[in-house]
Amino acid sequence: EVQLVESGGGLVQPGRSLKLSCVASGFTFSNYGMNWIRQAPGKGLEWVAYISSGSSYIYYAETVKGRFTISRDNAKNTLYLQMTSLRSEDTALYYCARRDVMDAWGQGASVTVSS
């Protein structure tokens, strides 16, 4: 069974940093590109970032470019999202999702940016 489990969320002050992780199981992680998508409370879905299977291709939404870094460790079956200079508008549930069509999603990690 394909599983994606996010962790690392929490309450953080504006301007601070946080690193999310997404551990994959049930499939060959190193064969798939991965995404981060977020959903602010009561709002719709917003794509955040993508990383290809071998990390050669990386793309970001303009709203996070320069502040967030997506990475992966295929040996650990883990996807990461390093978030810096956090703002209140980054408050959201952050999901990891598999491949371009996003055919598998985790349960989400909650990030709240507030003083």
Partner 1 sequence: DIVMTQSPFSLAVSEGEMVTINCKSSQSLLSSGNQKNYLAWYQQKPGQSPKLLIYYASTRQSGVPDRFIGSGSGTDFTLTISDVQAEDLADYYCLQHYSYPDTFGAGTKLELK
Q: Which residues bind partner 1 (CB under 8 A)?
A: 35, 37, 44-47, 50, 59-62, 95, 97, 100-108
Of 14, 18, 25, nearest to 106 by C-alpha is 25
Q: For residues 7, 1, 42 and 12, what is the CA-based torsion angle, rounded to 10 degrees?
A: 0
Tell the smallest beta-carbon distance from residue 76 to partner 1 (Å).
22
How far is residue 23's CA from residue 34's CA, in Å, rounded to a whole number?
11
CB of 45 to partner 1, least distance (A): 5
* CB-nearer residue toward partner 1: 18 or 37: 37
Q: How far is the CB of 5 from partner 1 (least distance, A)?
A: 11
DSSP annotation of 88 reads G
Between CA 96 and CA 106 the distance in angstroms is 6
Q: Which is nearer to partner 1, 35 or 78 (CB)?
A: 35
Nearest approach, Cβ of 64 to partner 1 (angstroms)? Answer: 10
Dihedral angle sign, alpha carbons of residues 62, 57, 72, 22: positive
For partner 1, the closer of residues 60 and 80 by Cβ is 60
Q: Based on CB atoms, which residue is closest to partner 1, 46 or 77?
A: 46
